[in-house]
Amino acid sequence: MKIKDFKLEEFFAIHEFSAPYLLCTSDCETFSIEELLALESDSEKELKKLRLGYTESLGSPFLRKEISYLYENIDLEDVIVFSGAEEGIFIFMNCLLEKGDHIIIQFPAYQSLYEIANSIGCEACKWMMSDKNQSWELDINFLRDNIKSNTKAIIINNPHNPTGHLISKEQFNEIIEIASEKNIHIFSDEVYRFMEYDENKRHPAMCDLYDKGISLGVMSKTFGLAGLRVGWIATKDKNLFKQIASFKNYTTICNSAPSEFLSILALKNKEFIIKRNLNIIKNNLKLLDEFFEKYKHLFDWLRPKAGSIAFPKIKFEKNIEEFCIDLLDKKGVLLMPSTKFDFGDKHFRIGFGRKNMPDALKKLEEYIQEFIK
């Protein structure tokens, strides 16, 4: 089966590097190589000595060890490193799923989390989120009622892109109980983990709690290091791990040595990086709260609980894609319309993990004052 066009990524391909003001990006503020190297005194010297040959296919043992420290019950033998999170999603789906299988996917979602399954010939049941009751909370009964005999996996994204929602601890545990009863895998996209505004609401990683749990991580979002192209999967499922490791020999085989070196350096200094990015997010959120309060007659603002994105809704009579394109044309501000998530025509993703967010927000306000009555 032919895979469908990736709407969000193709939209970015057209506009991301030409738009003056990016107000929809999902990642946090990045670092230069110079800034990263300054985190440890001998790192520049060590980088210059780095050999640029092949690396280990599972990932550097030093990197896998640093990644394992993000979890409670995971060792380096439970971690495999990829070229970004996308490769991890692609390989996981192709190893676990077969034509005719059924999955349940929290929705809206990053398109590869369901479209790869569709391309294999699976049925992807969308577990829809709704903001009708001023909450993006999931209906746990929908999950119970829609599990079939051929359900192979439940796919969740927590913290969630694009809403910024955080599943309640009660629901999180219920999802695990339901999956365990039916012997179903849970694939948990956790690329925004550690970006919870209230640390007490952070869940344990899925791979720490469930023997058929798979946790997806990446350097791109929380750490703001998308250019390193380093992601990973952590799981205690040894049979699945073996299949994934074997499949990787048909994709990237191994990772970039400089990227692994810089990822190790960043993870060794994760507390500093996470704190810096959370401070940026929280300062920007204050501005967004003020903006959406001022224009509450034009927008519905459901404040996120984690991450660097949210999913507001327009109240005025306009198609969201028309609104976003007109805003881009007139003010150079890029928002992500909900049409790129296959989620109606009234929401948009707004990103606030970068230092220049206030400048983009000012341009959005100019547009609102000039063109939206």
Residues 234, 303 within the same domain: no
306 with 343, same domain?
A: yes
- For residue 155, give both structure tokens: 């796919």
- Angle between the 84-96 and 112-120 helix axes, to the nearest 10 degrees? 30
* 152, HSE (Cβ side, Cα atoms, 13 Å): 19
Q: Give the integer Cα–Cα distance in Å for 113 and 107.
A: 10
Of 208, 239, 268, the last residue of a domain is 268
Environment class of 65 (CB within 10 Å of its CB; exposed 0-12, middle 13-18, buried 19+): middle
pLDDT of residue 358: 98
Verify that 84 and 202 share a domain, yes or no.
yes
Q: Which domain holds residue 357?
A: 7-32+271-371
Q: What is the pLDDT of residue 55?
A: 97
Whether 288 and 258 map to the same domain: the answer is no
Cβ atoms of 355 and 23 closer than 8 Å: no
pLDDT of residue 215: 98
Q: What is the SS3 assignment for 288?
A: helix
The per-residue pLDDT for 233 is 98
R_g over Cα of the chain: 21
Residues 185 and 328 in one domain: no
- Confidence at residue 167, expressed as pLDDT on a 0 to 100 scale: 95
Q: Which of 84, 15, 32 is nearest to 265 (CA)?
A: 32
Query: Residue 278 domain-assigned?
Result: yes
For residue 78, the model assigns a pLDDT of 98
Judge contact between 248 and 57, C-beta under 8 A: yes
Measured between alpha carbons, how far is 136 from 130 in angstroms, rounded to an integer? Answer: 5
Q: Facing residues of 123 across strands? A: 102
252 and 312 fall within a common domain: no
Question: Quick one: 182 and 320 in the same domain?
Answer: no
Judge whether 120 and 69 are in contact, CB under 8 Å.
no
Q: What is the pTM of this model?
A: 0.96
CATH number at residue 181: 3.40.640.10
- Cβ-contact 161, 26 below 8 angstroms: yes
pLDDT at 133: 84
Instruction: Write down the pLDDT at residue 1.
Output: 63
d(CA 260, CA 258): 5
Distance in angstroms between the alpha carbons of the first and the last residue of the chain? 46
Say yes or no: 115 and 261 in one domain. Answer: yes
Q: What are phi and psi of 103, to 5 degrees?
A: -130, 160
Q: How many domains does the chain have?
A: 2
Residue spans of the chain under pLDDT 50: none
CA 93/CA 113 separation, integer angstroms: 9
CA atoms of 357 and 352, how far apart (whole Å): 6
* Structural domain contains residue 42: no
CA angle, 240 then 244 then 249, to 5°: 155
Q: Is 270 exposed, middle or buried (0-12, 13-18, 19+ CB in 10 A)?
A: middle
Determine the Cα–Cα distance for residues 232 and 84; give it in Å rounded to an integer.
7
